[in-house]
Structure 1
Amino acid sequence: MTKPDEISYPVLIQAPDISAYQKGNTGIDYIHHFDSGNPGPHVMISAVVHGNELCGAIALDHLFKNEVRPLRGQLSLAFMNVAAFQSFDPEQPKDSRFVDEDFNRLWTREVLDGPKKSLELERAREVHPYLETVDLLLDIHSMQTATIPLMMALNRLSCAFTSRTIRRTSGMS
């Protein structure tokens, strides 16, 4: 019997062209920063931590095209593992999850400061100082297996944010 996570599903959506977003305004390619001029948190929405996760790229492309800007605080929009995303092939989607190694496994101080080299680690080292300025991070992932939607929160502030978001989007008060 085949398990749901072993089933291959066809890719039914198209990856957006994100080349127009390469030149950010932060000094880091593919990271854009918008400041409302009003006090508030610095929120980042990031996408393509894995190159085969198209939904986040589609969402950010939508935010850019609709010129979404913060009313309070700051908003950063970031495409993370661009090299993997650019290698995406809908016929072999799992092959573009990463180029050298999983971008999501590089964020310990030991790894970032260590001697190891990879395309993903080079990018992680480039964006890490910028990530340190962020108060709230929404990191959009998608899956290519039969999996229910999920959301994770790492601390009390992000748990409260997650709880408010779920209540608002579900129509609960």
Structure 2
Amino acid sequence: MTELLGPSGLPYRPCAGVVLINPAGLVFAGRRIDNPGPAWQMPQGGIDPGETPRDAALRELVEETGVTTELVDVVAETPDWVTYDLPPELLGKVWKGRYGGQKQKWFAMRFLGPDEAVRIATAHPEFDRWQWMRAADVVESIVPFKRDVYARVLGEFRKILA
């Protein structure tokens, strides 16, 4: 099987993401610590060798939000991989220059716990703030080069969010 390459000629980094939905139908978003401007995103991260996308999504959820697996119900996943390409100014600077973007599997998860169970002050924090947002606001709050991916993913899960 050949590796999927982006327009840069570099492969896509395998990644898993979580659309964490509270009982009111709002989506978790965290404000990234490492971005110079305000950039909010949903939990996501790389898939380790030998790890399934679902297992990676659950691991990333715990690592980035402190929300444990017994506090979520996985209700859906994107049927296909979703890709995005890094903008030219980031090529060669992130992921040690090995990837030109990401291919992502996304999972919709219902949050079953209290807000106090969200603890972003983790061992390796990625967020300095978090909040529940309407799906459209999450799309508007992400860095511009990821907006199409977020719109597509949240569109895939629109029935769950309704």
Greater strand proportion: 2
TM-score under structure 2 length normalisation: 0.24
Structure having greater relative contact order (Cα 8 Å, sep ≥ 6): 2
Greater helix proportion: 1
| Bigger CA radius of gyration | 1
